[in-house]
């Protein structure tokens, strides 16, 4: 039995990057791997490392649950839960803080980027401690695999270091998880700068939001930057076109070589128009499903309660083992 655990923050618009790099893969892995146990959660404690409006945060937490159901995460096959509703997450974080150094946390790329942007006054400890909370999220459940995008790999590596250090001191307690990446979609790039990952915190034109209107999606793809020659080919020397090919391949369910062949004689204009239309059409369908799913809050809350119950039982067991080892009564 293999255990798969991953989380997503409810902080702002979900992007095509979240969808292709994580959410869609969670649904696929749950269906492919019949004997895996899957835990997918809304990382709202991570979300508050950046200031949030309380009402919005509440609403978005349910939005993300509804999006997970929309893209096919099935509550009969996967446990869906809310991080803040399981106190063990906060508890284990405090304990694990004693197994990580300030030097290790200071080296995290995400912390360096975000703290640079927020300036000295905005460098709160929560942002610094973010990876420890994340380590606890997966160590609580003896996770084997963590399906994430490339940007989270460094955090999973630190999680392994923390777990190993704890095990060395107190004996085998935590399983060492590994990050699993999809070969093509683990880093969906920005539409106006293919050297950066697509991110909701970037400019509006650089990302596709899952709730963007069809017109907006078509326009954003039309404006997407391209590479210097006019060939529709995948390769290191063609980062912009490669990114667009990956996106098209996911939505058309065709391989990249097939698409290269199909667009052999086409220009960038046609190519980008086609991508815009197919992504817009697909997201429009998903948005309709989302609106239906989101309406039924009673169902959403039932799914969450059931998920919290299942996850909470395991998490509490783990915390009590850990406390026992440490002499915490
Ligand atoms: P978050 O909310 O930023 O993103 C959720 C997932 O989406 C992936 N992702 C991408 N993948 C490919 N291309 C992109 N452009 C792109 N943008 C985002 C992220 O890699 C992630 O897998 N720290 C996590 C949440 C978290 C977590 C955890 C994940 C909290 N605890 C424990 C795994 C295990 C985060 O910020 O995700």
In a domain, 196, yes or no: no
Same domain assignment for residues 241 and 314: no
- Ligand 1 site-directed mutation target among 26, 151, 175, 246, most atoms within 8 Å of CB: 151
Mean pLDDT over residues 286-315, rounded?
98
Mean pLDDT of 210-232: 96
Tokens 């293919």, residue located? 194
Q: Helices 268-295 and 214-223: crossing angle, nearest 10°?
A: 150
pLDDT score recorded for residue 27: 96
| Tens digit of each residue's pLDDT (9 = 90 or more) over 169-192 | 999 999 999 999 998 899 999 999
Residue in 197, 220, 238, 272 annotated catalytic: 197
Query: Roughly what angle, to the nearest 10 degrees, separates helices 297-326 and 88-96?
Result: 40
* Residue 221 shares a structural domain with residue 288: yes
The per-residue pLDDT for range 20-62, each reduced to its tens digit, is: 999 999 999 898 877 899 999 999 999 999 999 999 999 999 9
Does residue 58 form part of some domain? yes
Ligand 1 center to 323 CA (angstroms):
29
Q: Which residue has the tokens 């146990």?
A: 37
Q: What is the DSSP letter of 50?
A: S
Note if 114 is an active site residue. yes
Are the CB atoms for 234 and 248 separated by under 8 Å? no
Q: State both tokens at 268.
A: 């960038």
According to the model, what pLDDT value does residue 34 have? 79
Residues 316 and 252 in one domain: no
- At 82-91, the pLDDT tens digits run 999 999 999 9
The active-site residue, picked from 200, 216, 273, 310, is 200
- 169 close to 122: Cβ distance less than 8 angstroms: no
Residue 156 lies inside a defined structural domain of this protein: yes
Based on the fold, state whether residues 301 and 256 are members of the same structural domain: no
Mean pLDDT for 145-152 is: 96
pTM (predicted TM-score): 0.96
As for how many domains the chain has, the answer is 2
Is 73 within a domain?
A: yes
User: Domain range spanning residue 320?
Assistant: 2-180+297-326
Name which residue sits closest to atom 33 of ligand 1, judged by CA. 6
Mutate to test the pocket of ligand 1, among 96, 114, 149 (most ligand atoms within 8 A of CB): 149
Instruction: Please determine, for residue 1, whether its predicted confidence score (pLDDT) is greater than 90.
Output: no
pLDDT tens across 71-104, in order? Answer: 999 999 999 999 999 999 999 999 999 999 999 9
Are residues 282 and 304 located together in one domain of the fold? Answer: no
Identify the CATH number of the domain in which residue 281 sits: 1.10.240.10
Res 118: pLDDT: 80
Q: Could you tell me if 142 and 230 lie in one domain?
A: no
Are 29 and 111 members of one domain? yes
Do 22 and 78 belong to one domain? yes
Pocket lining: 6 vs ligand 1, CB cutoff 6 Å:
yes
User: Which atom from ligand 1 is nearest to the alpha carbon of 185?
Assistant: 12
**Average of pLDDT values for 180-208?**
94
**Residue 106: CATH number of its domain:** 3.40.50.620
Look at residue 115 and tell me whether its pLDDT is greater than 90: no
| Ligand 1 binding pocket includes 217 (Cβ within 6 Å) | no
36 and 118 inside one domain: yes
C-alpha distances (whole Å) from 312 to each of 69, 84, 143, 221, 291 are: 21, 11, 15, 43, 29
Q: Are residues 239 and 307 in the same domain?
A: no
Please report which confidence band the pLDDT of residue 120 belongs to, taking 50, 70 and 90 as the band edges: confident
Q: What is the mean pLDDT of residues 277-292?
A: 98
Task: Look up 51 and say whether it is catalytic.
Answer: no
Q: What percent of the chain has pLDDT over 70?
A: 100
How many angstroms is it from 53 CA to the middle of ligand 1? 21
Q: How many residues does the chain have?
A: 329
What's residue 229's pLDDT?
87
**Domain co-membership, 236 together with 285:** yes
Nearest residue (CA) to ligand 1, atom 4: 8
- Within a domain: residue 213? yes
152 CB near ligand 1 (under 6 Å): yes
The reply to whether 186 falls in a domain is no
pLDDT confidence of residue 18: 97
């Amino acid at each position: 039995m293999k255990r798969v655990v991953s989380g997503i923050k409810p902080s702002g618009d979900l992007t095509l990057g979240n969808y292709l790099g994580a959410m869609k893969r969670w649904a696929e892995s749950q269906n492919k791997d019949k004997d895996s146990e899957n835990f997918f959660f809304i990382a709202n404690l991570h979300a508050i490392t950046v200031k949030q409006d309380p009402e919005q945060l509440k609403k978005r937490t349910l939005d993300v649950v509804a999006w997970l159901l929309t893209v096919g995460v099935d509550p009969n096959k996967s446990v869906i839960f809310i991080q803040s509703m399981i106190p063990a997450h906060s508890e284990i974080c405090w304990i694990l803080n004693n197994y990580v150094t300030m030097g290790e946390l200071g080296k995290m790329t995400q912390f360096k980027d975000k703290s640079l942007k927020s300036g000295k006054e905005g460098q709160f400890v929560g942002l610094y401690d973010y990876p420890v909370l994340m380590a606890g999220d997966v160590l609580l459940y003896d996770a084997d695999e963590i399906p994430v995008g490339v940007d989270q790999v460094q955090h999973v590596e630190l999680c392994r270091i923390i777990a190993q250090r704890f095990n060395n001191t107190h004996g085998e307690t935590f399983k060492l998880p590994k990050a699993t990446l999809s070969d093509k979609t683990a880093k969906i790039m920005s539409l106006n700068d293919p050297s950066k990952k697509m991110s909701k915190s970037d400019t509006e034109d650089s990302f596709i939001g899952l709730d963007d209107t069809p017109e907006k999606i078509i326009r954003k793809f039309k404006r997407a930057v391209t590479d210097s020659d006019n060939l529709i080919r995948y390769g290191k020397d063609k980062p912009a076109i490669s990114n667009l090919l990956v996106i098209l391949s996911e939505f058309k369910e065709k391989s990249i070589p097939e698409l290269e062949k199909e667009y052999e004689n086409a220009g960038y204009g046609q190519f980008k128009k086609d991508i815009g239309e197919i992504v817009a059409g697909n997201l429009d369908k998903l948005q309709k499903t989302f609106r239906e799913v989101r309406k039924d809050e009673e169902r959403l809350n039932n799914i969450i309660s059931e998920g919290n119950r299942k996850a909470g039982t395991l998490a509490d067991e783990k915390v009590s083992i850990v406390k026992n080892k440490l002499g915490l009564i």
